[in-house]
Chains A and B, each alone.
Chain A
Amino acid sequence: MKRVSVDIGGTFTDCFLVWDGQYVEAKALTTHHNLALGFNQALKNAYEKIDLDLETVMAEADSVRYATTLGTNALIERKGPRVGLLVTAGFESTLPLSRGRGYADGLSERMQADLPMAKRPDPLVPIPLIAGLRERIDTNGNVLMKLIQDDVRRQVRKLVDQGAQAFVVCLVNAVSNPSHELLVEEIIREEYPSHMLGSMPIILSHLVSGRKGEYVRSSSSIMDAFLHQVMYHGLSSLELNLRETGHKRPMLVIHNSGGMAQLNSTDALQTIHSGPVAGIHASEHLAEEADLGNVICTDMGGTSFDIGLVVSGGVKFYDFNPVIERWMVCVPMVHLLTLGAGGGSIAWYDRMHHTVQTGPESAGSDPGPACYDKGGMQPTVSDADLLLGYLDPDNYAGGAIKLNPRRSKFAMDEALCEPLDISVTEAALLTRQKVDNNMANGIFQELRTRGYEPRQFTMLAYGGNGGLHCCGIAEVLGIDKVFVPPFSSVFSAVGAGNMHQLHIHEKSLYLTIYDSNTSKLFDDFDHLNQIIADLEEAGKNDLLRQGMKAGQIKHRLEMDMRYGNQLAQTAVVSEVNRIESRKELLRLIGVFARDYGKRFGEGSQAPEAGIRVNTVRVASYVELDTVNFGHMRKPEGAGNPVKKPKDIRKCWFVGHKEALDTAFYQAEDLKPNDAIEAPAVVVSPSTTFLVQPGWRLIMNEQNAGWLLRVDQGN
């Protein structure tokens, strides 16, 4: 396998190069003005490590894959065209009102609770760029009012006069009957033909999502329209860069649905958060390869703590209405929970309960923690870690950032020690204990609302601060094994290297499969199977368009099911791709009942209220080769004892009254199966691993490692 995988983040461009069994990780600064420069540099940093040259790599690589935050940045910076929105008349304020709750989508719970401070984000489409069209279709797709063509022309011109540079058309119930949206497109094309300079992109909502919900569908379509240009230019320039450097195959872009595709089968919205999703995908791949069982993926960075979930048995967790930046959308995205906890989380005095709280406010990277010495005056989690002795002030982030412990002490003293009348060390310990508990509570809630117990999981810890806090979090959760994956500093790029080509198509429908009023079971199987066939066809076409062979294509059928009128929709993976008989339908109902009972409690099922299918979803995919990481399984024994290093320092730990002598190791000095006894700190250029008392670290290949709770039989 010869493969280049890249994750373009806000600060760094990460590269993971696989070359005939050699795995190389490398980083370079992201070059926002021209992403290709950062890409080239990161790639260069990688291939030079194994004595290759650019021409060889580009010519011989089987694929080049990208995960990018380009879209997220464009949203934050509001870099996009003036989008004109055409909606059904009477719904002109649906978007500006954002379901009411849009004032706080994407904000912390604290801000959500503060109504006087409620303020919606600056809109992507301002009110003057929204126009209503005279038309109406009902829920079953019947036309109540025909589209009035002259009215469309009037409204389109009005929007163009207002400066519209692109159009989104989102008409009510267009997913039941798209004829009006298609007609609007035709009219706009008549007015602004595609071969003319004045031609403008048009996005029809029913093509962006097959799900009902006029607000979320319009916000999804707008985001697509808004990002289209910037993403197109950014990604096209990258593809052009590949061509110029000798790569002949189409570039592959990672999707937030957990798959990837070529540019001609990618819409802008699918690329948002693709980096973190790729990280979860890498975890899934590792879980399979190393037989990890259920895995909770944790990525603790400077400002946030991302949690992902991978469970055995093929169950996938999606967010069907994820919030992107500040807007709720309706594209299926691999589930990812982000908590406001990271190295930069601010520790503050909780006057009410006379103790320490942390976050969700963060010092970010600028000014950053007090110890960064860049003007930050408030104590943070990183300051606590420094004061407890875990961080090397002169060698943090590979020596890139010099830390000033005096600043940490000062900030801690002023903010916490004075009101609590405790020492700096005590304040730092309380800070650490609190943030670890906060993150653990996030994981508790995340797993338990889905019917899982943390103790049944292996924790995967990556991200800059993951290795420092994973033992603390795991202890609270009762988890006894933590795996620090290989190439953890470029883990998203690693995930990109293992993706399959995949497309998801779905359709909303009102399908009562068991009517408890009449005790009748659904039997119009032809109708249902036709819907499934249409969705499979759409996915198949996506893949054929990218040169896949029909014989390679597989489909996975999922149905969102619910009892009665509940909001909960359980995504049930069907064992068969067509429902041909009542027996098969009853089996599907059985799987639903099993999954539902697992999540909400056995006996909580309520088929007496009827059973419905709300969405039919088909994932069409082609499985590609994946990276083999080698032996990553949990070690059987206690590992090989390692000689204590000379670098022994005093570190403080939660639950210990005195500082403990703690050994500091350099990661490059360690070999697979080396066992590091606690307390210890292992420093690598990209991260730091803390082996807390009660734990043991057994090194693995590729700088991976197992942190195992010694007193739990490991």
Chain B
Amino acid sequence: MDKIEALEPNDDQFDEETMMAKFLEETTLFLGPDPEIMGDHDLAERSDREDEAMKKVTDPATLAIVRDRILAGANEGFEMLENMGAAPGAKWGDLVTGVFSAAGDLAISSTGGVLIFSSLVHHPVKFINKYWRDEPTVGIRPGDVFMHNDARYGNIHNTDQSMMLPVFHEGVLIAWAGATVHEGENGAVEPGGMPSSAESVFDEGLKLSPLKVGENYELKRDLVTYFQNTVREPKLQYEDMKVKMFVCRRIEARIREAIDEYGVDAVIACLRVGLEDTRAEVRRRVSEWPDGTVRYSHFADSTLRENVMIKIKLELRKKGDTLTFDFRGSSPEFANRCNNTVQASLKGMICQLFLAFIWPDLPRCQAAFAPMVVLTDEKSALNSSYLTPNAQSMMTFFPAFTGAQIACAKLMFSIPNKSTKVVAAWYDMINTFLYGGMTQHGEIVGNVCADINGMSGGAHGDRDGENAVAPIFATMADIGEQELVEEEVPFIQIVSKRLLMDNQGMGKHRGGMGYEMMVAMTDSEQWGFMVTCIGSKTPNAAGLFGGYACPTYPLCKVKGVDVFEMFKSNPEDFSYSMIDVMNNQPFKEATYSTHHMGLQYELTRRGELYMISQGAGGGYGDVLERDPLDVMRDVEEKLTSQTLANNIYKVVYDTETLVVDEAATQKARDKERAARKKRGMPFKQFCKQWSTKKPPANIPFYGSWDDSKLIYGGSPEETMTPDTMRSITMPHPKDVRIEALEAELEAAQKKLARSAKAKAAPKAKAKAKAAPKAKAKAVRKGRKKSR
């Protein structure tokens, strides 16, 4: 930012605009997120220094060699980070390292790790460049260490902590080295780093705008101590800050070595050329897609606190070499729910789609998404404002990812040159348990189970999807080993990994299947669980070309029981199936309940059961075209029930031998096809029968209905336009419950009063009638007693 020279109060040599700018600069309360930085996902303008370097070093082969060398350094840093990191996230792949250009564009990202960071971690670097470089109290000098975790300045949510080191050559800033890890615990209102009960940004724990935390490659102990005091896991905070700094130092060393060997111009040029080449390649690839528009609306069915319908509306337009993701008309933001997405996070997630699911051969850098256009309404759930909490932004940007995945699949289906296959929707939700409390080792912890990585794959055009294989946000992620987890924390997975029958997105090829999980605390003074998922009412993963979506999933609980006592007394009676447990209710005196999967931190007692299932991927193609032998294989493997085989896939077979009766199957399928035709109706008739002008009044619906400029805020009466968009404030679920209970109580009291009155009236009459008789009786009784 250009500095404005000091002006005298009565100096009139400057025009009004300049004076106004100075006045505003001098009176800035604090430096919030810069819309200019946060709204721009394209590359920074090529600098004069970059231009000069690119003129000096032009040989593509040399640049490729330098780039590979720096990538090897980033990968070396990644391996260090994965090994040295204390956060569970570091152990199962939720991290990344990278090298940024001087301007802050992420030019080279490690081969492994979370791809979404590729287009998200540049914002804080740009903020530092813009605001702290010339700020006398901060500055950017060799050996400085910067840190950041507030998603409003970039990144996904504040459980992810980034560290950045400037790299200087002969006094000139030429690059940045960075490392980011999903740390988990961050001192939020709930343990584990991803609170779902946060009602404001101030409930979300440690929020660091980009700031300097070290100088001369030393962390400032006062700051580290402050951070440690702010979170539940001071060891984790300390260890991983140190680790990230050493990783950045290592990457910095590798950049220096590349400079020594190839010259500073080669390094600067290779970073910039890599970015520009990638951007050009993306444009070229987009241009191969057919022009056109695809629309897809997806829904988030919960705020994690209450059941609602949050519309994620997408219109994907392709023209020439431009892809436009138009999310306008999606739900408004929520003032006191943390499911809001900062627009930059949304872009990161769509970038992830391209890097992992569409063009996995592209270099992992920010430029992979640079040419895309993303449109959102301000103050919408996908472009939330400064004061809205965002710790669970995944609850809106994961559905946006799915919408984009389906829309892109339709556009790219017919192009001959694909980098990978077209698949139905991947399961997009983090069906896992978060936990927190006191461990058997006397330590307070808060984090998340590695099952967060167990998302199932969408079905292919030529085969079933992979069962619980990888999260949408990372490759080679790990769902871990329970024996190692149980060493650290006081709960066990009684059912750890058991594929749940019929848990599939059906189709000609079915989606990958999810597994059920059953957990119970063993021994702790204080322990609790959380679950933070949507998808209990409407499915998260859509099918493709006639394939079914995945099922919906509840959270099931059995409270008031110590299951370990049953392990001892009646082990034969214990059921390993959550469906059987809930249906048969084998524990007397226990309380059984089902819920949506937004469980706020809940204290648990030894042996109480918490049960969920991993989600399935979407199906591909018509179920009636599924090879009956594939159905039989699934029946044999207990992945598909007889009911599903008969009723959905219409396969007729011998239930003992599993031999298919081909003729009967054909007949059953023909019959179903005929029935479908009979059920069918002309489109106009369908619209007449099904289409309404407004959302139904009995569903809390958020977003546009059929006009993207008219947005509903929870009821048909609550409307707004993009220009008048306002945050939705939700009542506290406990207040809602109290209100309902009070209403019930009041109604009951009234009823009781009425009933008492009604009863009292004849009684009074009778009493009045019976009074002389009673008196006579009392007199008789008294006489008897005295005798």
A355 to B66, CA, bound (A): 13
Contacting B422 at CB < 8 Å: which of A114, A116, A134, A433?
Answer: A116
Do A350 and B571 contact each other (CB < 8 Å), given the known contacts A97-B479, A118-B466?
A: no
A603 to B243, CA, bound (A): 10
How many chain A residues touch B (Cβ–Cβ < 8 Å)? 82
Residue-wise interface mask of A (420-435) relative to B, using a CB-CB cutoff of 8 A (1 in contact, 0 not): 0000000000100110
Contacting A90 at CB < 8 Å: which of B250, B277, B493, B637?
Answer: B493
Do A356 and B479 contact each other (CB < 8 Å), given the known contacts A148-B572, A444-B72, A601-B250?
A: no
Contacting B469 at CB < 8 Å: which of A103, A355, A564?
Answer: A103
Contacting A112 at CB < 8 Å: which of B239, B246, B476?
Answer: B476
In this complex, what residue of B is CB-closest to A422?
B61
Minimum C-beta distance from B209 to chain A (A):
26
Within 435-449 of A, Cβ neighbours of B (below 8 Å) are at 437-438, 441-442, 444-445, 448-449
User: Chain B contacts of A212 at CB under 8 A?
Assistant: 481, 483-484, 487
User: Chain B contacts of A118 at CB under 8 A?
Assistant: 457, 466, 469-470
Residue A91 interfacial (CB < 8 Å): yes
Contacting pair A138 B492 (CB below 8 A): yes
Contacting pair A90 B567 (CB below 8 A): no
Residue A76 interfacial (CB < 8 Å): no
User: Chain B contacts of A22 at CB under 8 A?
Assistant: none
Contacting pair A517 B443 (CB below 8 A): yes
Minimum C-beta distance from B506 to chain A (A):
19
Contacting B76 at CB < 8 Å: which of A134, A216, A449?
Answer: A449
Stretch among A8-16, A220-228, A572-580, A606-614 lining the B interface:
A606-614
Residue B60 interfacial (CB < 8 Å): yes
Stretch among A139-147, A373-381, A398-406 lining the B interface:
A139-147
User: Chain A contacts of B636 at CB under 8 A?
Assistant: 128
User: Chain B contacts of A119 at CB under 8 A?
Assistant: 463, 466
In this complex, what residue of B is CB-closest to A446?
B76
Contacting pair A112 B475 (CB below 8 A): yes
Contacting pair A564 B76 (CB below 8 A): no
Contacting pair A216 B481 (CB below 8 A): yes
Contacting pair A138 B466 (CB below 8 A): no
Total number of residue pairs linking A and B with CB closer than 8 Å:
258
Contacting pair B86 A564 (CB below 8 A): yes
User: Chain A contacts of B421 at CB under 8 A?
Assistant: 116-117
User: Chain A contacts of B63 at CB under 8 A?
Assistant: 353, 355
How many chain B residues touch A (Cβ–Cβ < 8 Å)? 103
Residue B431 interfacial (CB < 8 Å): no
User: Chain B contacts of A104 at CB under 8 A?
Assistant: 475-476
A89 to B577, CA, bound (A): 10
Minimum C-beta distance from B36 to chain A (A):
29
Contacting pair A449 B79 (CB below 8 A): yes
Contacting pair A139 B60 (CB below 8 A): no
Contacting pair B65 A434 (CB below 8 A): yes
User: Chain A contacts of B469 at CB under 8 A?
Assistant: 97, 100, 103, 115, 118, 120
A183 to B282, CA, bound (A): 60
Residue B564 interfacial (CB < 8 Å): yes
A119 to B487, CA, bound (A): 31
Minimum C-beta distance from B447 to chain A (A):
10
Contacting pair A115 B360 (CB below 8 A): yes
Residue B480 interfacial (CB < 8 Å): yes
Most buried by A among B67, B93, B496: B496
Minimum C-beta distance from B249 to chain A (A):
6
In this complex, what residue of B is CB-closest to A442?
B72
A351 to B64, CA, bound (A): 12
Residue A99 interfacial (CB < 8 Å): yes
Most buried by B among A97, A110, A355, A433: A97
User: Chain A contacts of B453 at CB under 8 A?
Assistant: 100
A608 to B567, CA, bound (A): 40
Do A441 and B69 contact each other (CB < 8 Å), given the known contacts A115-B457, A173-B486, A604-B242?
A: yes
In this complex, what residue of A is CB-closest to B67?
A353
User: Chain A contacts of B467 at CB under 8 A?
Assistant: 93, 96-97
Residue-wise interface mask of B (569-587) relative to A, using a CB-CB cutoff of 8 A (1 in contact, 0 not): 0011010100000000000
In this complex, what residue of B is CB-closest to A605?
B242
Contacting A606 at CB < 8 Å: which of B239, B274, B363, B494?
Answer: B239
Residue-wise interface mask of B (458-495) relative to A, using a CB-CB cutoff of 8 A (1 in contact, 0 not): 10100100111110000111111111101110001111
Contacting B363 at CB < 8 Å: which of A116, A139, A352?
Answer: A352
User: Chain B contacts of A127 at CB under 8 A?
Assistant: 637-639
Minimum C-beta distance from A292 to chain B (A):
25
In this complex, what residue of A is CB-closest to B234?
A609
Minimum C-beta distance from A608 to chain B (A):
6
Residue A342 interfacial (CB < 8 Å): no
Contacting pair A136 B494 (CB below 8 A): yes
User: Chain B contacts of A144 at CB under 8 A?
Assistant: 492, 564, 567-568
User: Chain B contacts of A99 at CB under 8 A?
Assistant: 478-481
Residue A312 interfacial (CB < 8 Å): no
Contacting A566 at CB < 8 Å: which of B111, B239, B576?
Answer: B239
User: Chain A contacts of B235 at CB under 8 A?
Assistant: 516, 564-565, 608-610
A568 to B235, CA, bound (A): 16
Contacting pair B483 A565 (CB below 8 A): no
Minimum C-beta distance from A364 to chain B (A):
21
Residue B306 interfacial (CB < 8 Å): no
A213 to B93, CA, bound (A): 18
User: Chain A contacts of B61 at CB under 8 A?
Assistant: 355-356, 430, 433-434
Residue B497 interfacial (CB < 8 Å): yes
Most buried by A among B361, B497, B564: B497
Contacting pair A600 B277 (CB below 8 A): no
A600 to B243, CA, bound (A): 9
Within 61-104 of B, Cβ neighbours of A (below 8 Å) are at 61, 63-65, 67-69, 71-72, 75-76, 79-80, 82-86, 88, 90-91, 93
Residue-wise interface mask of A (36-64) relative to B, using a CB-CB cutoff of 8 A (1 in contact, 0 not): 00000000000000000000000000000
Residue-wise interface mask of A (76-109) relative to B, using a CB-CB cutoff of 8 A (1 in contact, 0 not): 0000000000000111111011011101100001
Residue A514 interfacial (CB < 8 Å): no
User: Chain A contacts of B246 at CB under 8 A?
Assistant: 600-601, 603-604
Do A517 and B442 contact each other (CB < 8 Å), given the known contacts A89-B576, A100-B470, A564-B235?
A: yes
Residue B357 interfacial (CB < 8 Å): yes
Within 423-451 of B, Cβ neighbours of A (below 8 Å) are at 423, 426, 441-443
Contacting pair B486 A138 (CB below 8 A): yes
User: Chain A contacts of B574 at CB under 8 A?
Assistant: 134, 145
Residue B281 interfacial (CB < 8 Å): yes
Contacting pair B487 A213 (CB below 8 A): no
Contacting pair B495 A90 (CB below 8 A): yes
User: Chain B contacts of A275 at CB under 8 A?
Assistant: none
Residue B591 interfacial (CB < 8 Å): no
Contacting B576 at CB < 8 Å: which of A90, A213, A356?
Answer: A90
A356 to B639, CA, bound (A): 47
A604 to B441, CA, bound (A): 25
Identify the B interface with A (CB < 8 A). Answer: 60-61, 63-65, 67-69, 71-72, 75-76, 79-80, 82-86, 88, 90-91, 93, 111-112, 235-236, 238-239, 242-243, 246, 249-250, 254, 273-274, 277-278, 280-281, 355-357, 360-363, 419-423, 426, 441-443, 453-454, 457-458, 460, 463, 466-470, 475-484, 486-488, 492-499, 515, 518, 522, 564, 567-568, 571-572, 574, 576, 636-639
7 pairs of residues in contact across A and B, judged by CB atoms under 8 Å: A103-B466, A120-B466, A128-B636, A132-B576, A212-B487, A434-B65, A604-B242
Please list the 4 inter-chain residue pairs (A to B) with the smallest Cβ-Cβ separation, ordered nearest first: A568-B83, A90-B495, A145-B567, A355-B60
16 extra interface residue pairs, beta carbon distance < 8 Å, beyond A136-B494, A216-B481? A90-B495, A94-B497, A103-B469, A116-B457, A117-B420, A353-B64, A353-B67, A353-B274, A355-B61, A434-B64, A444-B76, A517-B442, A565-B488, A567-B83, A601-B246, A608-B235
Identify the A interface with B (CB < 8 A). Answer: 89-94, 96-97, 99-101, 103-104, 109-110, 112-120, 126-128, 132, 134, 136, 138-139, 144-146, 148, 151, 172-173, 175, 212-216, 350-357, 430, 433-434, 437-438, 441-442, 444-445, 448-449, 510, 512, 516-517, 563-568, 600-601, 603-604, 606, 608-610
